[in-house]
Chain A
Amino acid sequence: MTAPMGSLSVRGVNVTYPALQHGGSVVALKDVNLEINPGDFVVALGASGCGKTTLLNLLAGFLSPTQGKLLLNGQPITGPGSDRGVVFQKHALLPWLNVMENTEFGLKLQGVDKSRRRTIAARNLELVGLKDFHHHMIYQLSGGMQQRVGIARALTCDPAMLLMDEPMAALDALTRETIQELLLDVWQHTHKMFFFITHSVEEALFLGSRLIVMSPRPGRITNTYELDFNKRFLETRDARAIKSSADFIKMRETILGIIYGDERAAGQPEIMHV
């Protein structure tokens, strides 16, 4: 695969929203710095209100920072673009199109001719295990299969980066584990930059090559960990053994401690008078 390779840097980013009451403002993100290189699987984890989704919206270009810079390939991010694919929590597929039409949609918008975009889309559908479902309508699929289409669709424009906002939050536990393994296979196969948001500590540890733990009020990155559980899975293909290993459990408890601390500290108003 010929992916437009490059790296992404987030430098000194602040995001401030005007508050609804009191005329103050909410600091959604404060002094965030992050470097993502090709082949990095970055997972963002944190209590609600820690700014995970704000960070993803910045990377996708749906939001501009109040201060600081976001660079992709050295170029500032000015808006959304096909070099960054997004997978959403709710699948956000288009119900009037079938699986194939949804997957090729981005290439169709770009005016790629039909046989070429069908070939690319078919390859991505095969990658996510939906080879035999080209003509199914979205509402005929289970939640897990819908998310597979979402992943295939995001890959079709061959983005440098895949952004995922809790894509597994609405799936049942078994489907979730299957899709987790699928994601690692896609990651290994495409060698793209992955940025993945989750609430689940176990999911974060299993998937990420780098874990950033975020804290609320103001939203910021408090801890960063380099992980290799995902590489261990790709070598051994034994998810259960990895998730029940001593170092995985120890890591899980450490991170749970950080997040529970944040949850307990919650309850104060998020308004800061400026």
Chain B
Amino acid sequence: MFNKLFLAKPVTPGKVYGAPGAGYSGFISLTTAVVLIALWFLVTSMGWIKPIFLPSPFAVYNKFIEAWTEGVANSTLLQHTMTSLGRVMGAFFLALVTAVPIGVLMGVNRLVRGVFDPIIEFYRPLPPLAYLPLVIIWFGIGEFPKVFLIYLAIFAPMAIAARAGVKSVSIEQIHAAYAMGASSRQIISHVILKAALPEIFTGMRIGIGVGWTTLVAAEMVASSRGLGFMVLNAAQYLASDTVIMGILVIGFFALIFDLLLRHLEKVLIPWKGKV
């Protein structure tokens, strides 16, 4: 039955024979979203699924209004959101100012690469939940260990991206700069760092995504505020409407930040993918 979707069609006049999967898929994605939401309305309004497993969209919306005005778990939604935003953004900027220089240095310096490579490669695949207890034992239950956990999760992909970015400079570009009298320091700042920018931006996008993913883990222990805490707290009372509302809010901010970075990338790195 899927034959039609995958079948290569004969060339229509004026069209070039394309690669498989070519063409715009935005409308299909929009349809998927609309169908899923419609299904959500359908199964809840028909009572096919109990509200404790899947509350209706109206219940989630009401919960959102309630959380916004009166608050849930002792804080308003705005307070939860600002707390979590502060943690994720704090960790993100901390990672940005440390991971990018270290990643670039790993690309251009044998010693730095030798020192950091085993550390990053060892902890990178570990789930943050696995080293969360250690972070708490070491740094206690204040604000720092929460930011630090998110920071660790963001650091690895950003450093790896910056290091990979260094490799995207061609030897001809470096030779050309040397033949114009550049010093090694100028080669790094004027050529290698600029050439690495597209990859660094990709690392930032991956990093901010990972940051939101790690948020709930960071707010698991000894939190009294935050979107992750709000979701976990609600789960203990089987308040599925708050859980879903929290997930949607987290998803919304993750999406906004990704779109923002994508836009910045287009403005700041117009040459990406063109040379």
Q: Is A137 in contact with B180, judged by CB distance below 8 angstroms?
A: no
A80, A96, A105, A163: the one contacting B271 at CB < 8 Å is A96
- Distance in angstroms from B262 CB to nearest chain A CB is 18
Contacts of A109 in B (CB 8 A): 177, 180-183, 186, 190
Q: Say whether B179 contacts A60, CB under 8 Å.
A: yes
Determine whether B4 belongs to the interface, using a CB cutoff of 8 Å to chain A.
no
A153–B180 CA distance with the chains assembled, in angstroms: 9
Q: How many residues of B contact A (CB 8 A)?
A: 23
Interface assignment of B275: CB less than 8 Å from any CB of chain A: yes
User: What residue in chain B is nearest A159 (Cβ atoms)?
Assistant: B179
Identify the closest chain A residue to B275 (Cβ).
Answer: A95
Contact with A along B160-181 (1 / 0, CB 8 A): 0000000000101101111111
Q: Contact: B274 with A139, CB < 8 Å?
A: yes
CB 8 Å contact bits of B191-207 with A (1 = contact, 0 = none)? 10011010000000000
Asked if residues A92 and B181 are in contact (CB atoms below 8 Å), the reply is no
Instruction: Identify the closest chain B residue to A157 (Cβ).
Output: B180
> Is B270 in the interface zone, CB < 8 Å from A?
yes
Residues of B within 8 A of A79 (CB): 178
Would B176 and A88 count as touching, CB distance under 8 A? yes
Cα A79 to Cα B184 in complex, Å, equals: 12
Is B271 a contact of A139 with CB atoms below 8 Å?
yes
Q: Are A94 and B194 within 8 A (Cβ)?
A: yes
- Among B172, B177, B194, point to the contact of A96 (Cβ < 8 A): B194
Smallest beta-carbon distance B176→chain A, Å: 5
Which one, A80, A94, A156, contacts B175 given CB within 8 A? A80
Known: A88-B175, A96-B197. A157 touches B274 (CB 8 A): no
Q: List 10 A-B contacts (CB under 8 A).
A: A60-B175, A62-B175, A79-B178, A84-B179, A85-B180, A92-B172, A96-B197, A96-B271, A105-B177, A105-B180
